[in-house]
Structure 1
Amino acid sequence: MKLKHSLFLLCLFSLVGSLAAQTIPSGPAIDAEVSSVMAKTGAKGMALAVIDHGKVSYVHAYGIRDAKGDPLTTDTIMYGASLTKAVFAYTVMQLADEGKLNLDTPIGNYLEKPLTSYGFDGAFKSKYAPYKDLADDPRWMKITPRMCLDHSTGFNNFWFMEPDYKLRIHFEPGTRFSYSGEGFDLLQFVIEHGRTDKGLGLDVGDLTKANFDRLGMTRTTLTWTGGKDANVADGWNDQGQAHPRSGHGRVRAAGSMNTTISDMAKFTAALARGDGLSAASRAEMTKPTLHITTVAQFPTLAPELPVAKQRKDLYAGLGVIVFNGPQGRGFYKGGHDEQTANTMVCLNTRQRCVLMLSNDVRSEKGFSELVRFVLGDTGVPYEWEYGDYAGKS
């Protein structure tokens, strides 16, 4: 019995040790590490925040915001890209808490008329897809808010990425993961054009602004202000070429947010501790909802791997990706374009996160190193996130 007891204690201590989080490095140590990563990658600008026990513990900005050499500061407005998806999912979960949306009710139940009867012509003037293209495909009626948020609608990333510019469903909705901003924009459409008798017909920009105001995110919007603010970051592409910043004039749930590291750190801390959501909705958003079976996030619609080669620890949550690692369960979200590289990584243990925004896509080559330096070994699946498609989402 003594031997069994000793083995039990040994296993218990090993488990506790594997879940033990490292001490968060000091500010100067973080600064030195970021400087090292920027030197290695050639990145011109980066901003970083650390959240510990659900509170912002460190925020700093590095490098320059534009080709003129103006400094990047903690209040510089930067493109949030697909981090917008996490903000939108958080907002949707608030609607679920209010009883205005059920995650598993088909979207058609929330519309006054069939989705395919809404008259968007597919021109780039519209922020919505040409839903009439689905007139001969009744599978759209199976799509739910959950499928929009866990990337299982069956859509391409966006309708305009189809060779013939026609919206189509590529697989049975709900059956597999395939990254799609189109699903997020569809759910935005449902919220904005849904039945008022069900509490919808709401402006997503207004809903998110209410959260931004509540959290003190005074410089964050889902629309581009068109250069009215001087402290805005331009960007650098993977060839080190500078590009002036331009933005979305319309609210788009898939990725139109402009924010600062100070503001986005406040949101990340709120999400880490569940502020603004019921405990059930916070858990729903960050639990492993749908097993991810592809070798990488991109290209969208990539074939599924054979079962034996699929990662066992990788799932879609709602607006985030969920993983299991040496410190337990975590979640993360990235945001990229040709000049933008963002990442948010959170561990449920001690409600710890690291957030990075960069106006130079080359910086993402150093994200894994920086996350490990700040949080220790997390198991965040960056090899799946980026693969050979870094900077293309």
Structure 2
Amino acid sequence: MFKSIVSVCLCLVSLVSIGQDKPLLGNDAQIEQWLKANSIPTLGLGVIKHGQLQQVRVFGELERGNAAPFNTIFNVASLAKPITAMVTLTLVSKGEWQLDEPLFTYWTDPDVAADPRSKLLTTRHILSHQSGFPNWRYMNESNTLDFKFSPGTQYQYSGEGMEYLRKALENKFGKSLNALANDLIFTSLAMTDTQYVFNSQIDPARVVQGYDTQGKAYETIKHQTANAADDLLTSVADYGKFLVSVLAGAGLSDSVYQDMISHQVASTKGKHFGLGFEIYDLADGEYALSHGGSDYGAQTIVFILPKSKEGLIIFTNVDEGYKVYEALLLHYLGKKGEQIMQIEMSE
């Protein structure tokens, strides 16, 4: 399955409303009507203001006939990547990992072991999507991993890169990525509903069902091995805690934080990737850090604005959940949301 923030963001231009330019999002009954008109079974919303998570709302059903609770757990697909990035950057800030150290010291994938470019690959390349890898190796006819270009020379969004980093981290520290994330992020932030794997800490009775565009439910896959790039399980409240910590630079040194928010490479539509987040340059010196997730039965996206300390979390559980992004951006982020949309609709 193709998991790419690019595919998510390109879909931001699609909005189906209920006969008005901007749906009224303050009335629960109207929101439920609007979601039904857009075939969105479940919507999770988180609103950050003044650097704090001020609002969490969940609408719709957990599964047919069963209302979704406030603490519904979503598969947020590629929103796993910013968590992996922050685990890594926290280790860098602690002096236990190096951004620019070649990763072959800790891991080399057998598919690229004979390629000298494997000796050049660093954490910075991976977190800024300059690894040279395809998004997923199965997209190659050979079904093997390869370099499409030399690391650090151009942009190519890659889940494979994040998985490569996971294996290097796990080899050095002798712990799973899930354990590292619990040690460095989840426990300290009281993210009790967040895991990379479907383990005993995940309440199956609160995990939302995913759907295709015809309303057919996908099977809920209970992953037992962490994927650094995909399939994170979390709630709106938990991911909101995480984003608030990112806004505050929690656990990061000043230099690492500046690396995270700096343009590392041009991506698309005038945007850039930093380390772990895509960067939108807005008016008056403002900028947004963003990431999305796209998977079968999951469309998710987040934005945080470090200068104004605002943010927005959107979780949906259907293939075309992106249809509601624009209206929510405009409603909750106002002129900044308009600027984000202008960037997405540019050539």
Query: Normalising by the residue count of structure 2, what TM-score does the alignment of the two structures yield?
Result: 0.85
1:50–1:355 Cα contact (<8 Å) kept: yes
Does residue 53 of the first structure (1) align with residue 31 of the second (2)? no
For the residues of structure 2 that align with 1:137 and 1:29, how far apart are their CA atoms?
Answer: 56
Is residue 2:322 matched to residue 1:364? yes
List runs of 5+ in structure 1 lacking aligned partners.
1-26, 116-130, 195-199, 295-310, 388-393
Q: Which is worse superposed, 357-366 or 240-249?
A: 240-249
Equivalenced residues, count: 318
1:288 aligns with 2:284: no
Q: Is residue 176 from structure 1 mapped to residue 154 from structure 2 by the alignment?
A: yes
Q: How does 1:14-93 map to 2 (within 5 A)?
A: 29=26, 31=28, 34-35=31-32, 37-67=34-64, 69-93=65-89
Q: Which of residues 210, 233, 242 is equivalent to 1:258? A: 233
SS at match of 1:368: helix
- Which of 328, 340, 347 is the aligned partner of 1:380? 340
Structure 1 partner of 2:276: 319
Partner of 2:181: 208
Report the CA distance shift for 1:382/1:40 in structure 2 as closer, same or farther (over 3 A). farther
Residue 269 of structure 1 deviates from its aligned partner by: 1.2
1:247 to 222, 235, 257: 222
**How much does 1:143 deviate?**
0.7
Between 180-189 and 342-351, the greater mean CA deviation after superposition: 342-351
Q: 1-side partners of 2:174 and 2:154: how far apart?
A: 30
Q: Does 1:186 align with 2:164?
A: yes
Match of 2:205 among 220, 227, 230: 230
Residue 283 of structure 2 aligns with an amino acid whose one-letter code is: P
Cα distance in 1 between the residues matched to 2:282 and 2:49: 18
Q: CA deviation at 1:383?
A: 7.3
C-alpha contact 2:93 2:251 (8 A) present in aligned 1: no
State the distance in 1 between where 2:127 and 2:46 align: 26
Which aligned runs of 4 or more in structure 1 are off by greater than 3 angstroms?
A: 30-37, 225-228, 381-385
Amino acid at match of 2:300: N
Code of the aligned partner of 1:321: E
Post-superposition offset of 1:145? 0.2
SS at match of 1:240: coil
Following superposition, the deviation at residue 80 of structure 1 comes to 1.9
More displaced stretch, 249-258 vs 222-231:
222-231
SS in 1 for 2:280: strand
- Following the alignment from structure 1 to structure 2, what is the Cα–Cα distance between the partners of residues 286 and 218? 27
**Measured at CA, do residues 160 and 332 of structure 1 come closer, stay the same or move farther in structure 2, by a change above 3 Å?**
same
Aligned residue type for 2:198: W
1:106 is displaced (CA, Å) by 1.2
* Contact kept in structure 2, 1:65 and 1:359, CA below 8 Å: no
Q: In the alignment, what sits opposite 1:267?
A: 242
> What's the counterpart of residue 161 of structure 1?
139
Cα gap change, 1:204/1:256 in structure 2, threshold over 3 Å: closer, same or farther?
same
1:172 Cα deviation (Å)? 1.4
Aligned residue for 2:314, secondary structure, equals strand
Output one character per residue of 1:366-389: Cα deviation in whole Å (capped at 9) or x when no partner. 10220111011333369759x9xx
SS in 1 for 2:311: strand
2:90 aligns with: 94
1:133 aligns with 2:108: no
Residues 1:342 and 2:300 are matched in the alignment:
yes
Q: Which has the higher contact order (CA 8 A, sep 6+)?
A: 2
What is the CA–CA distance in structure 1 between the aligned matches of 2:342 and 2:33, rounded to whole Å? 20
Which residue identity lines up with residue 234 of structure 1 in the other structure? Q
Q: Could you tell me which residue of structure 2 aligns to residue 16 of structure 1?
A: none
The answer to whether the 8 Å contact 1:45/1:63 transfers is yes
CA distance in 1, matches of 2:130, 2:250: 27
Q: Distance in 1 between matches of 2:74 and 2:343?
A: 25
- Preserved contact between residue 197 and residue 233 of structure 2 (Cα < 8 Å): yes
Q: Is the 8 A contact 1:345 1:380 kept in 2?
A: no
For 1:33 and 1:253, locate their aligned partners in 2 and report how far apart those are by CA, in whole Å.
37
Q: Which residue does the alignment assign to 1:304?
A: none
Structure showing greater Rg = 1
d(CA) in 2 for partners of 1:102, 1:70: 47
Write the distance in 2 (CA, Å) between the matches of 1:277 and 1:36: 43
Unmatched 5+ stretches in structure 2: 1-23
The answer to whether the Cα contact below 8 Å between 2:73 and 2:233 also exists between their aligned partners in 1 is yes
Q: Would the aligned equivalents of 2:247 and 2:304 in 1 still touch at CA under 8 Å?
A: yes
Question: Which position in structure 2 is the counterpart of 1:150?
Answer: 128
